[in-house]
Homo-oligomer: A and B are copies of this chain.
Amino acid sequence: MSIAEGLASKWISVSEPTPHVLHVELCRKPVNAFSAEFWREYSALFDRITREGRDVRAVVLSSTLPKLFTAGIDMGDLSAVQNPEAPDAARASLSNFHFITEFQSAIGAVERCRFPVIAAIHGTVIGLGLDIVAACDIRYGADNAQFTIKEVDAGLAADIGILGYLPKITGNHSLARELAYTSRIFTAQEALHLGFLSKVVPGGQSEVIKAALDLACVIAQKSPLAVSGTKRIMTHARDHSVQENLEYTALWNSSALQTNASCFSPAPVIILIFPSSKDV
């Protein structure tokens, strides 16, 4: 049975192009607009994989639409948030608070996974799309990828994570703020310079997906114990001091060292670590 079995839903298709690698595709026409139903599906997918313990070792996330990754939130659906029936502004705020918190948690599902998630991005990414790819481990973009932190044009600060993630995962406050304050479009090349993308792939949708799947394939050949530990430790590092992270790492590895997984790919290790002296 494929590990993708039964995971697809209305607007998300899931396949297993290579063993232990899932390809998750967003496919809500015309623009992958995210209604509450859509992001609940999205979250449920990733949380379910973790809960069921399927042997997934890497995921590629992309869009089936030819011209864009996602246009962001489905504004029609969002109007439901405005709580016309709340008896006062205080209660409306409380209701909004719980709604936003749930929404953030849904988009953050990929961070909770034990395996890396690689965003393969082509076309335009708007608003919520940036929150979605920012929470992924790695971002590859096609030549034609372009991005806009659109929320200020709607009179709002972006609220599902990009404002926190963007400076934290790129280190560049000056450019991140410029992009967030203006909502101007930035290209794949600028995203590469910024560090938001780790690679720009020549070509479009199919090329970037292929590159991301190749990367996923490499990762899937590593010990999942090693990769999931690495993911967890690096996520922890983002939010803690070096000293705290070192202790966390030591605790994590104190038992992880007791694995047989080192037989996973023994040859290259031996070759690289003990080159014969004449090679050196």
Query: A interface vs B, CB < 8 Å?
Result: 29-31, 33, 65-68, 71-73, 75, 81-82, 87-94, 96-97, 100-101, 104, 108, 116, 126-127, 137-139, 148, 150-159, 161, 163-178, 180-184, 195-199, 215, 218-219, 222-223, 225-231, 233-234, 236-243, 245-265, 268-270, 272-277, 279-280
What residue of chain B has the Cβ atom nearest to residue A169's Cβ? B173
Report copies per complex.
6
Say how far A112's CB is from chain B's closest CB, in angstroms: 11
| Chief secondary structure at chain A's binding surface | helix
Say how far A79's CB is from chain B's closest CB, in angstroms: 10
Q: Which residues of B contact A90 (CB under 8 A)?
A: 225, 255-261
Q: A31-B273, A75-B269 are in contact. List 10 more A-B contacts (CB 8 A).
A: A82-B257, A89-B89, A89-B93, A90-B225, A90-B259, A93-B256, A104-B249, A155-B259, A172-B198, A177-B231
* Contact among B68, B154, B181, B240 for A219, CB-based, below 8 A: B181
The 22 listed contacts between A and B (C-beta, < 8 Å) are A72-B273, A82-B257, A90-B257, A93-B254, A93-B255, A100-B249, A138-B174, A150-B269, A153-B265, A153-B268, A154-B269, A155-B226, A155-B260, A156-B229, A156-B253, A163-B237, A166-B234, A174-B197, A178-B215, A181-B227, A182-B218, A255-B258
